[in-house]
Structures are given as C-alpha cells and as structure tokens.
Amino acid sequence: MKKRAIGLNSTDKVKTTPAEGEQALRLQVYLAHAGVASRRASEKLIAEGRVSVNGRIVSTPGEKVPPEAQVCLDGALLRPERVFHYLVLHKPPLYICSSSDPQGRPLARELLPGNIKERLYHVGRLDFRSSGLILFTNDGGFAAKISHPSAGIEKEYLVEASGPIPDRVVEEFIRGVVIDQVFYQSSGIERLGKKSLRIVLIEGKNREIRRVFSYFHLHPVRLHRIRIGPVRLGALAEGASRPLTPGEREKLTGKN
C-alpha cells in the first residue's frame, strides 16, 4: 500500500532562482539544471546517444551549450529549471530509488507530494530493502556538490543483524577492510546491543554496509538511515516528506 506523503505549503515548497541561460553550460550541467537527472547520471544519458543539441546527437559530455540551443532528451525538448525543490523523504523498506522499474516495484519518488510539477530525482540512494532518510531535488548543482566524496558528508545508520555481531566486525570495519579489491571503512561505530550498531560512513560506497556484513557472514535484517550531514530524520513519519530548511541547505553545501 502506498504511504501517505505530506504536502508542502506554498511558502516553503520552492526556491526560485534567476535564469541560467545567460551563459553557456556544459551539456551534463544543462541536463541537470533541466531536472533530468544528476550530472553523473546525465553523463550516462549523453554517452548512450539519447541527447541532441540543435538536432545533432552529442555523445561526449562537456560540450558547451549556448543559451539559445535546443536540447532534447529522447526527442523531447528540455529547458533549465527556474524553480528548485529540496526535499527529505522517509523511505520505507521495499521501495526502489529509481525513475522506473521493469519489475513493477513501488518507486520512492511516488511518495513525494503530487503538487510538484518539476521532475525530482534522488541524491544518492537507499537500496530496496533499506529505509530512512533520502534527499530529492531538481537542482543538479546542489546534487553534484553534496554527492561528491570531497564534500565529506557523514551518513548515519542504525543496523540490526540476524545474529550477534562479533567485536571483530566492529574493529575491522573501523580499521578498514578490503573486499573484492574495494576498501570499506566506517568513520564511527557505536554498539547498541548484541545484534545492533550505529554506523557512520563518509563516502558511502554502493551497498557498503551490506557488503561488509556479508563478508563476515552476517545479514542485516534492518538498515535504516537516520542522518545525512546536518539533516536528521527525526520524527518524520514513514512515507512522508518535508522541505530542507535554508539552514540545512547551507550547511550541506558548506556555505554557512
């Protein structure tokens, strides 16, 4: 059953910005500003040959797009957004962070308020079985800045395992462990019980906690994100959303 999303008031649902069309933009930046996807995801769309500029397919990111250019994705004309949204969603388990799903699983984006006309995309992700805090926006610059590892933004999780978690797991995760030639390391772990931990990550590689637990033959039965940098999930109900506050946005982007 679809969870009920909390709507936004007219006074806090958008941020209006000046037109971006005063200067040429790199193509992937243009796509991000048009609310298509993040810059990284836009680069993939370009490489797939799905983007055209003035009727010409462009398959290499980085091409400068002048303000008067006609940019299309799959033949549909795009325009940079002038109204930006920044939302916190409490994602329930068994919702997928994707724009579509061939298996027909419910999408996290479907929980967002229906009165938003602009297309929003998730910043980072939570896997299908995980729950908790995830950010949505149509501001490509904001998404790119807070997603980059150099931003050093902490992500905090509550994790419950199917069995007792040995001290060795905590010690090695803090020290750092190499799995399939990938280095995983937590910046902080607090034991909450025999089967539960509070884990803080900074870079947050794909399925990092699940991969580390699996390496030690453990299975997380609950993986719940409660914080991204200064943004806390708090009492936000499962399936509900709220706007980021201006203060939270400034702290996330280092403008405080």
Q: Give the integer Cα–Cα distance in Å for 106 and 82.
A: 29
The CA-atom distances, in angstroms, between 138 and each of 14, 119, 135 are 10, 6, 10
Answer whether 156's CB lies under 8 Å from 187's CB. no
Tokens 């037109």, residue?
19
Q: Give the integer Cα–Cα distance in Å for 256 and 251.
A: 5
Answer whether 147's CB lies under 8 Å from 38's CB. yes
Q: Closest by alpha carbon to 177, among 136, 221, 218? A: 218
C-alpha 132: how far from chain center: 12
* 139: annotated active-site residue: no
What does the block give as tokens for 245?
A: 């506050």
Q: Considering 12, 127, 139, 180, which one is annotated as catalytic? A: 127
> Which run of H or E residues covers position 191?
strand 188-193
Residues 6+ apart with CB under 8 A from 210: 127, 220, 223
Strand arrangement of the beta sheet that strand 71-73 belongs to? 56-57, 51-53, 71-73, 76-77
Q: Give the integer Cα–Cα distance in Å for 130 and 132.
A: 7
Active site residues: 127
